[in-house]
């Protein structure tokens, strides 16, 4: 039953994922004051279907995610192409096993956008 729910959620997420991809939403990562207002927009558009900032959901809470990865480059690669990292990293494999599914890949997110999302979640 949990697998079916995950599959349905993934389908809904994928069908909605491109709806918020305007060039304005993906180009500006932080505003002039240095706050990451766009991090919230990016999180809402790309992550909120499966993640919450402060609590586990279909995927892990994103608050503190950077500190849970030994290699920041692997974190970025995982967001962009989870399967490639699961094949070579034990932490990524434990995430897949714990949450019983694969994360949707986001190959178009830049490292700066990923940083903005994680900064928003750490507020």
CATH number of the domain where residue 18 is located? 1.10.760.10
Number of residues assigned to the chain? 123
* Residue 106 in this model has a pLDDT that exceeds 90: yes
> How many whole angstroms from its chain centre is CA 40?
12
- Give the N- to C-terminal CA distance of the chain in Å, as an integer: 34
Q: What is the spatial distance between Cα 64 and Cα 83, in angstroms, rounded to a whole number? A: 22
Domain total of the chain: 1
pTM: 0.71
Q: Specify the DSSP class assigned to residue 19.
A: G
Q: What is the pLDDT of residues 15-70, one digit of tens each?
A: 444 444 443 433 344 443 344 569 999 999 999 999 999 999 999 999 999 999 99
Q: What is the pLDDT of residues 28-38, one digit of tens each?
A: 444 433 445 69
Q: Are 94 and 86 in contact (CB under 8 A)?
A: no
Which residues span the domain enclosing 70? 2-121
């Amino acid at each position: 039953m949990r697998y079916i729910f995950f599959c349905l959620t993934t389908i809904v997420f994928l069908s909605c994922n491109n709806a918020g991809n305007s060039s304005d939403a993906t180009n500006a990562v932080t505003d002039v004051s240095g706050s990451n207002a766009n991090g919230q927009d990016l999180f809402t558009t790309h992550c909120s279907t499966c993640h919450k900032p402060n609590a586990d959901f279909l995927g892990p809470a994103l608050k503190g995610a950077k500190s849970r990865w030994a290699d920041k480059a692997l974190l970025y690669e995982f967001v962009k192409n989870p399967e490639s990292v699961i094949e070579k990293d034990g932490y990524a494999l434990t995430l897949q096993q714990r949450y019983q599914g694969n994360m949707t890949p986001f190959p178009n997110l830049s490292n700066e956008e990923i940083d903005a999302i994680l900064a928003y979640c750490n507020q």
